[in-house]
């Protein structure tokens, strides 16, 4: 209840314009009671972000353990990553603008984020073993390309008011990630967007 109220208030007012007193009032507890659970607004933010990244990590682990091919796993993972960012993008935008909090949150979520990266790397390696992903590309490069394409494009779309609809954008990003920007040289429909 405290975390949801905090998230709602942050989205309404922003990080710097939200106080612990306002959070306590929104939750319906005394400010001192709130401080018994969280020593500061920064500590509350860290718990909030840790929760969001933990939820994403659990979703990615579930996909990684599915009994389907690597292409399908990666497609589901991209959809999940995009959905999570789209659903929570104001929170991530708050983090981008709270420079004094970034280093601490990055430190706190580093282990979770690295766990997600390891799961995705295993899916990519699985796809290389299946012969559907390019085995000549280092997995680390494939990971960086994935996060570069997905995360930066979604943030840009949401915050600059681009005209591409969310569903279309995710399909196009999947296409770029899996097939690049070159025109298909065959009639293989799997290489056509989206």
Q: Model confidence over 26-79: pLDDT tens digits? A: 999 999 999 999 998 888 888 888 888 888 999 999 999 999 999 999 999 999
Whether residues 14 and 55 share a domain: the answer is no
Whether residues 51 and 20 share a domain: the answer is no
Whether residues 9 and 78 share a domain: the answer is no
pLDDT at position 181, please? 63
Give the three-state DSSP class for 45.
helix
Whether residues 115 and 128 share a domain: the answer is yes
pLDDT at position 169, please? 75
pLDDT at position 151, please? 72
Q: How distant, in Å, are the alpha carbons of 60, 84, 95, 113 from that of 54?
A: 10, 12, 16, 9
- pTM here is 0.78
Q: What CATH number corresponds to the domain at position 177?
A: 1.10.357.10
Its domain, for residue 32, covers 1-39
- Residues in the chain, pLDDT under 70: 88-98, 152-166, 181-194
Sign of CA dihedral 114, 116, 122, 128: negative
CA angle 143, 93, 180 (to 5 degrees): 30
């Amino acid at each position: 209840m405290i975390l949801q109220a905090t998230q709602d208030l942050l989205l309404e007012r922003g990080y710097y314009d939200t106080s612990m007193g306002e959070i306590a009032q929104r939750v319906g507890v005394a400010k001192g009671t709130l401080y018994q659970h969280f020593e500061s607004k920064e500590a509350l933010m860290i718990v909030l972000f840790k929760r969001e990244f933990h939820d994403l990590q659990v979703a990615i682990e579930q996909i990684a353990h599915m009994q389907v091919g690597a292409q399908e796993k990666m497609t589901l993972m991209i959809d999940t990553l995009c959905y999570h960012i789209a659903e929570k993008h104001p929170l991530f935008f708050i983090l981008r603008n709270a420079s004094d909090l970034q280093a601490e949150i990055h430190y706190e979520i580093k282990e979770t984020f690295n766990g997600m990266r390891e799961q995705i790397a295993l899916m990519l390696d699985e796809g290389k073993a299946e012969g559907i992903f390019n085995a000549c590309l280092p997995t680390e490069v494939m990971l960086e390309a994935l996060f570069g394409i997905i995360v930066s494009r979604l943030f840009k779309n949401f915050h600059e008011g681009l005209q591409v609809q969310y569903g279309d954008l995710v399909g196009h990003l999947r296409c770029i990630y899996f097939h690049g920007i070159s025109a298909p040289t065959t009639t293989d429909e799997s290489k056509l967007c989206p």
